[in-house]
Structure formats: structure tokens, C-alpha cells
Amino acid sequence: MAERMVKSNGIELWTESFGEPGNPPILLVMGASAQGLLWPEEFIELLVAGGHYVIRYDHRDTGQSTCLDFQTNPYTLEDLARDALGVLDAYGIAAAHLVGASLGGMICQLMSIRHPERVRSLTVMMSTPLRPGIMESFQQAFQGKTPEGAFPPPAPRAIAVQLAAASNPPRNREEAIDFQVKMARTMAASAAPFDEQECRRMVERMFDRARNPAAAMNHGFVPSPTHEQAEALRHLRVPTLVIHGTDDPMFPAAHGVAVAERISGAKLLMLEGMGHDLPRPLFGEISRALLTHTGARA
């Protein structure tokens, strides 16, 4: 593995690569407010063993990447997609297999629409299709309001944790870490036991390496996709795999089904008991699905 800071879209992003650079590349794109470290190394090594060169990175406003004042420097989903394309440019990669989780799945959908020539395949994990109003509906849900729209809102357990944090925000490092561990437990798969000690170690590591831990919340202000972007998704012709959990409390299962329905030819892998996370017991099944989808050694 090799860490590297790269210039992308006018900012600086932390990246880390695994495997042989000559192998088919995979770009891992994590979700909102999340650092690249949330892609587990044990999982990445399975992709490397299958013959891939794998890159993960910290989004802007997370980890060791550039942090911004969102009020004076607002950005959109298009900017986050350009950030990811800039990572590929910095590594000299013409086209890669994209794997996006949660908000990362939306970013990868947009990358595939805007630059299909840069995309060998698309995998959308625990996410939702590009559509207007998605960000606003989640903001409403986490404010205790009933969101409008046909898609199911986050599960009550996820909303309850957010409402508790909004009424009593963390005041220091210890409380911030406690909140993140509690949120991780809420998001965790019912199919696997929750390892609180391992989770706490990771949360502490991410908190301490972040340039500005509070900046990650800026992702919550990113505007929803546009009608034009949502319509373009129906015309996407990139080979697509959708991986979703039956117990996802952030994006209930209907969101994953909708992604597969809106992208022509997409395959859907629904995993029983998977939540809004990557549980270790499912590393093997998920990695095998990815390797089959990308045409590598499964």
C-alpha cells in the first residue's frame, strides 16, 4: 500500500493505493462525511488478490483532504464527482471500475453519466438513485418531520440517533467519538455481531487524523441531484451491479431496487441482514460479486 496526496479539482485529496499499478483499477468512493479508511483493508486485499489495483481516498472535508468553509465555498455533487475523476487523472488512469457506497454510490452514478468513457463498470452499494429532493427528504427526516416522496425514509432507529445528537450535540472529542460509535451500531448489519472495540478504535483513528472533524458535516449541505441528472440515469449503458442490504436503516431496500430498475441491464444483489455498513462476514460474498462483475479472478 502507498499513501499519496494528489491535486484534484483545485483542492488536495489524500489517497492510498493497493496492489500492482498495471492491474485493472478499482476506485472506491465512500459515503457522506466518511473517510476512505472506512473501506476495510481486509476487504481491499480480497480485491487485490483477485487481480485488481485498488485506490481509496478521503473526500474533501474529511480526513486529511482539503477542508472548506461551505458558506463561502459551497459545492455540489458535480464537484464531488470531479474530485473523484481528478484522483484517476492524478494516477494516470484512463478508465476504472467504480465502486461507490451510500453518497459514494450517487457520486459514481454521476461520474458514469458524465464520463462513461472513464468507467469500465459501476457498482452501487447501499445507495439510492439520482433524483431531485433526496437530500432535502433526509434533512426533513432527521429533523423529525415526515419527508415527501415515494421513497421510504430512514428507519426510526437511525432518525432517533440523529435527533438525540441534534438536541444534545457532542461537546468534545470523547462525546463525538461516542456518538459516532452509537451511529455505527445503529447502521450495523443484523446478520453480524457488532464489534464495539474495533469500531471505537477506527472512529478514534479517523477523528485524530482529520484536519477538521467538524468539516465532514458539510456533506449534509450538498444539494440534491437535478431532474436532468435523474433523467440521464435512465439512459446510462455502463455495466452495473447494485449491492444492497435487506436491513439498511439509512436507505431501506426499496432504494437499492430502484437503482437497479433505473439503470438499464443492472444486476441486483440483495444481501439478507446487511445494514448500512460492510460487515466482515460478508466480505467474501461481496468481493466475489465484485470480482465476477469486473471480470477479474473470483
Q: What is the pTM of this model?
A: 0.96
Decide if 102 is catalytic. yes
Residue 263: the pLDDT is 97
Classify residue 189: in a domain, yes or no.
Answer: no
Residue 146 lies in a domain: no
Asked if residue 230 belongs to a domain, the reply is yes
The residues, ordered by sequence, that sit 6+ positions from 130 with a Cβ below 8 Å of its Cβ are 106, 109, 110, 113, 225, 229, 230, 232, 233
CATH number at residue 229: 3.40.50.1820
Element of type H or E holding 32 = none
What domain range is 214 assigned to? 2-132+210-294
101 three-state secondary structure: strand
Does the residue 78 lie in any domain? yes
Domain assignment present for 15: yes
Closest CA to 247 of 267, 268, 270: 270
| Given the residues 8, 17, 33, 102, the one annotated as active site | 102
Strand partners, 269: 243
Active-site residue identified among 276, 277, 287, 293: 276
Residue 160 falls within a domain, yes or no? no
- Tell me how long the chain is: 298
Residue from 58, 61, 83, 248 carrying the catalytic annotation = 248
**142 inside domain:** no
Q: Whose CA is closest to 216, among 58, 39, 95, 97?
A: 58
**How many domains does the chain fold into?**
1
The partner residues of 245 in beta bridges, in order of sequence, read: 271
Does 228 reside within a domain?
yes
**pLDDT score, position 190:** 84
Q: pLDDT digit of tens for each residue in the chain (298 aa)? A: 899 999 999 999 999 999 999 999 999 999 999 999 999 999 999 999 999 999 999 999 999 999 999 999 999 999 999 999 999 999 999 999 999 999 999 999 999 999 999 999 999 999 999 999 998 888 888 877 777 667 899 999 999 988 888 888 899 999 999 999 999 999 998 878 999 999 999 999 999 999 999 999 999 999 999 999 999 999 999 999 999 999 999 999 999 999 999 999 999 999 999 999 999 999 999 999 999 999 975 5
